Structures are given as C-alpha cells and as structure tokens.
Structure 1
C-alpha cells in the first residue's frame, strides 16, 4: 500500500507533458484555425483604383481588316473544294450521238425517290398528291438512272448527268379514289372504330424526252 501512495505522490509533483488523446481535443479550435488561415479575395482592378494607378487598355483583337485576318480568310476560302462538273468519258462522247439518232428512247426517272420507266407521251399517276403544283405546270425531271434505246443504254452512277438529256412533264391534274370505309375492331372488345379515307393522286404526262448534244460540253 505504501508503494502505491508513493507512486501517486511522485506523479503529482512531476509536470504533465503528455497530451490527451486526439478524440478528446476540442473541434472548435481546429475550425477556428482553418478560418484564420483563409485570405481575403481582393479584386486587382479595385486595388488599382484605390491605389490611384491608372488602368491600361487591354490589347485589342485583330480586326477583320488586318493582314493576319485576311490571310486566314484566304486560306479558309482556298481550302474549300469547288464543285466542278465531271468530265465525260470518251465512250459517252462517241456513243451518245448514236443513241440520240435511234427512235423509241426510254428513261427511268426518279420522282421523290421512286423510279418510273417512261417514254415520250406516257402518262404517270403518282401515288401521292404533289404539293405546290397546279394543272398546266411544266416540270423538269433531272434525276434518271437509265437512258437508252433499242441497242444502247446509258447507266448512271447513281444518276445520269443531267446535261446529257432533257425530260419535261406537264401536270394534267389530280384525281381521287372512291371513299374507303374501314371498321377497326378487336376480339372480345365491344368498341369499334370506323375510318374513312380518300386518297388523291397527281397525273403527269411526259411531254419531251431528248438527248442533248455533247459538243458544247467539256
């Protein structure tokens, strides 16, 4: 018992140098230390005005009239490809006049992505009503995949050059089909729906089909 009392007296006389555990430290002191370490944000423009230092103008960007901008515009314009008509193959120049001399020529034209094999004088009934046309209008059909006669056929890739032919169509008018009535009903369902439809179509007549002269083409 005397040894325990002596040890306690010695511990009371010596100064305490050990720190308490970290979980016993106050959290307020750590937060206050972090707040004191942050510096105030100062605007450099406001600081120069308070100090009486005149502000210097910023460097202006080069205008469009500067030589650097002109050189950049010239480079961009020269880099853009120019659309030039493709040159004709020598075989096309040689055989196209023979094709033009033969009668009974035909052509496969494309109207709104759908092909129609026609000759001069044929009537075409489009499966839709073409918007923006009235009876009597003349249309230039410039998309064709085939142009040929009895002995020769010019195949396009995918379309024939529009400088080699002229195909025109006259809008005759529009016609409508009889009224359709369709009853929609499901099994084990007492409700039914009646749908009425009456489609309209545009009628074209091929008024001109000729092969152009290739002497004036490049």
Structure 2
C-alpha cells in the first residue's frame, strides 16, 4: 500500500517548487562534497627538509643524519680487565677437576685426565706406548673458571699429554656395488682401524711460571 502511494505521488513531487531556504541549505553541502572529491595539492618540499626512509633527516654538508633506531648500547661497553690471565690464572689452577677441549687433526675433544679417546682414523707414525704432547686447546676450565682461546690458548699455559694405548679395528665389511643394465657385480672390502689415546697428564701452570 505504501509503495503504491509513493508511486502515485512521485510525479507531483517532481513538479513541486522547492522553497529558497531549502535550496540554500543544500547548496553548501553539495559544494563541500564536490570540494572533497578533488585531488589534494602537494607542494614540493626542499631537499634539506625531506625525511629519510627510516624517519631521519637526509644528511647534508652541514648536518649529520641522526640514528633512526634506538641504540643497543647507549654507553660504550666496559673496558676488559687488565691482565685478566695473570690475575685469574692462579684461581683456575688452584681448583681441582680441570677439563680441556683439545684439537687433534682438527677434531675437538672435551676430556679430563684419565679419559680415553677413540680417534675416527688411524694416526700415522705412532706406536703403542708413545706419549704425545697435545698443544692445541680452545677451552680450559674448572668448576668456577673458564679460559677460552681465540681460537687457541697459548701452549705455555697448560701441559696436556696423551699416551697411545693401541689400535682397534672394526669387523670386516663387504659391500656389493652394481650398476644398472650390467651383469657384473663388484665386492668392496673395508676394515677401518682407529687409534686409542688416554689422557695421562693435564696440568695448568701458574702465572709466575709463565712469561705472559
């Protein structure tokens, strides 16, 4: 019923005369809509006032660009302890139960005195009973103190010796190798041997015995 009334009254409303007060009230609204739809005018900014991508002013001849992000270290880090090796080496040597990370042919091993090492290869030129001086170490420590090298520790600080106890061999392995579309098969025999070492001595020298 309401739709029928609106349709019947539509021609009359189209021809109706709108009062001037209503016309004046609607005119600024239309103008505002038309003004808002226009594209904004962007004025060029001088190069010295342009902002950097990281929200900082571009550097010029008389201006240095400030840091855009917060500094991770606002104050310089504290200076290292002078003669730390000379001051702390006696405490490290006094504590028992030392451990060391020695490097043998590029392989690191974390051991203590009395431990055994099974090298993943057969060390050439050694026999059972030989004593080896291990002079490459990256870490020496005790319960409360640790000395780290960069990359290795001076060999005058410690003495680490290992005794060759013998060699071990794995069971014989036979691997059959084939190729596609060939009736021939090849058998490869392998029996690797390993050298066994025992850490017989581990001593850390005092600062008076070492000229650092």
- Of residues 176, 181, 187, the one that matches 1:183 is 176
Once residues 134 and 109 of structure 2 are traced to their aligned partners in structure 1, the CA distance between those partners, rounded to angstroms, is 11
Q: For residue 205 of structure 2, what is the aligned residue in structure 1?
A: 212
Aligned residue for 1:163, secondary structure, equals coil
What whole-Å deviation, never above 9, does each CA across 1:78-113 have from its counterpart, x for those lacking one?
xxxxxxxxxxx6111111111111121110001111
- Of residues 121, 124, 130, the one that matches 2:123 is 130
**What TM-score, normalized by structure 2, do the two folds share?**
0.59
Task: Give the number of aligned pairs.
Answer: 130
- Of residues 57, 75, 92, the one that matches 1:99 is 92
What whole-Å deviation, never above 9, does each CA across 1:102-126 have from its counterpart, x for those lacking one?
1211100011111111100000001
Equivalence map 1:158-197=2 (5 Å) = 158-197=151-190
What whole-Å deviation, never above 9, does each CA across 1:48-83 have from its counterpart, x for those lacking one?
xxxxxxxxxxxxxxxxxxxxxxxxxxxxxxxxxxxx
Question: Following TM superposition, where does structure 1 have runs of at least 4 consecutive aligned residues deviating by more than 2 angstroms?
Answer: 186-189
Once residues 200 and 139 of structure 2 are traced to their aligned partners in structure 1, the CA distance between those partners, rounded to angstroms, is 18
**What TM-score, normalized by structure 1, do the two folds share?**
0.58
Q: Post-superposition shift, 1:189?
A: 2.2
The question of 1:110 aligning with 2:116 is answered: no
